[in-house]
Amino acid sequence: MDLAGPASLTDVVLPSLVNDVAALSRRLVLVLDDYHVISSPRIHESVTFLLDHQPDTLQLAVATRSEPPLPLGRLRVRRESVEVRASELRFTDETPEERLLSGETRGVILTAIERLSPAQRLVVTLRDIEGWTADEACQALEVSEGNQRVLLHRGRSKVRAALERHLSPAA
């Protein structure tokens, strides 16, 4: 049998590979690094075949500097892909301590908001998180401007107090 022809790759070799990988008892990760260098349509077709017939035991990792000519839209829609873009890999001036603190601080704020009364939580969420105007919040919640202002002030004060407790040095 001649396996050199283009049809035999997708008719014989790749289906056999897919079947062998599917029969594995543990997961296999196939890493294709520097995929942006590949220009052969035959290779793109082969990888597309693998994506179309990917067994549960195969995890495909493609590292590339540009959008590969592969049908990734379907994987994105089904949330079966994880993509890390160049902007997410760039170094920042933020130290690990600052990054940790910002995550912890965000957690303290969210917890403080969750502990507000339902009315205060709604007003703080609409105004400070969703960016609604005072008029929009008043209309949506059917409260007076004065009531909205009091709820917002009390809610913000409780969140601020929780943040101050978190950030103050331990005595």
Q: What angle do CA 78, 83, 88 make, to 5 degrees?
A: 145
User: Do residues 84 and 107 both lie within one domain?
Assistant: no
Structure confidence at residue 97 (pLDDT): 66
Strand partners, 62: 32
User: Do residues 104 and 57 both lie within one domain?
Assistant: no
End position of a domain, from candidates 89, 110, 128: 89
92-110 pLDDT tens trace: 777 766 766 677 888 898 8
130-169 per-residue burial string, b: 16 or more CB within 10 A, e: under 16: eebeeeebbeebebeeeebbebbebbbebbeebeeeeeee
128-167 pLDDT tens trace: 888 889 998 999 899 999 999 999 999 999 999 998 898 8
| Segments forming the whole domain that contains residue 25 | 6-89
* Separation of alpha carbons 165 and 171, rounded Å: 11
End position of a domain, from candidates 89, 109, 142: 89
Q: For residue 130, give both structure tokens.
A: 């969703």
User: Do residues 82 and 114 both lie within one domain?
Assistant: no
> 148 near 156, Cβ under 8 Å?
no
Give one DSSP letter per residue of 11-64, joined into a string: IIIHHHHHHHHHT-SS-EEEEETTGGG---HHHHHHHHHHHHT--TTEEEEE--
User: Do residues 85 and 101 both lie within one domain?
Assistant: no
24-46 pLDDT tens trace: 999 888 888 888 899 999 899 99
